A = this chain, B = another copy of it.
């Protein structure tokens, strides 16, 4: 910056004003300085800016892992950030079930404190929100975090899914749920039970089990369900990953979907349209959720008054993994 100042024949103070568009510098000077900045290819040092002004115009989005779900969110978020004047940085907290939580939490806190103005978190990782640092949670960890939140209507979606299965004539419906410390997983299970109860169908506790939201863990649970003497005729999987995993397991056991078993998922990740058979599922508007969370974060930083809990609607997407029960 002092280079710029020298060659433009002004002081660093003036250069700073020009860079930040502050009032109080003559038009002629502005142009001259901008010219020099362009020629010299000057870029302000983020570190120094942050140090002095506690503002970097950089936002973070923290995901547990790079998988389809978070990737969709990222797409939406990075589309929203374009043109907002902010820069978006994504980081993964490491493994989902992760080992080195301590280390990750620490380095995360470091970034937060000093280098980004706010963050969207898409992971159960708890983060202590320092003063002046904004964070919004997507699909958050259970419990009264009090954080601004973006999610979809998991409960209603689960009711949708279950009702669809019921309407097809299924009565023995199994459920593979996510980790119970995930709010979304609990809501989906609750929606499932509600729909069953409303239809007057008793749920057999032996065929609702925790499977986790990840491919491998769900596979084990699916295998358990399907080897039961009187196996379910339909399964509502807690998310698409476990639904896909369930279909794999079914196939490997000689069962064909949807003839021998109906499967419905939740999320509508892009993969769901590709698998064979294409997966019937509940759509969450993932990209839109990503975009909304970023918009919320930006508004929060700007101090605009607004609703800090956004719930987006879910929708049934009928494809080919379910059929009527004879």
Residues of A within 8 A of B (CB): 41, 43-51, 56, 58, 65-67, 71, 74-75, 78, 82-83, 87-92, 94-95, 100, 106-107, 109-111, 113-115, 128, 244, 270-271, 274-278
Contact = CB atoms under 8 A, between A and B. Distances in A.
Given A66-B78, A89-B90, 6 more contacts: A41-B128, A46-B111, A47-B49, A78-B92, A87-B110, A274-B276
B107 A87 contact: yes
A44 B111 CA distance: 10
Nearest to A270: B271
For the residues of A in contact with B, the DSSP-based class is mixed
A92 B83 CA distance: 14
Contacts of A56: 47
A82 B66 contact: no
A111 B92 contact: no
B83 A100 contact: yes
The 9 closest A-B pairs by CB, nearest first: A276-B276, A47-B50, A47-B47, A90-B90, A45-B114, A47-B51, A46-B114, A66-B74, A78-B92
Contacts of A271: 270-271, 274
Contacts of A100: 82-83
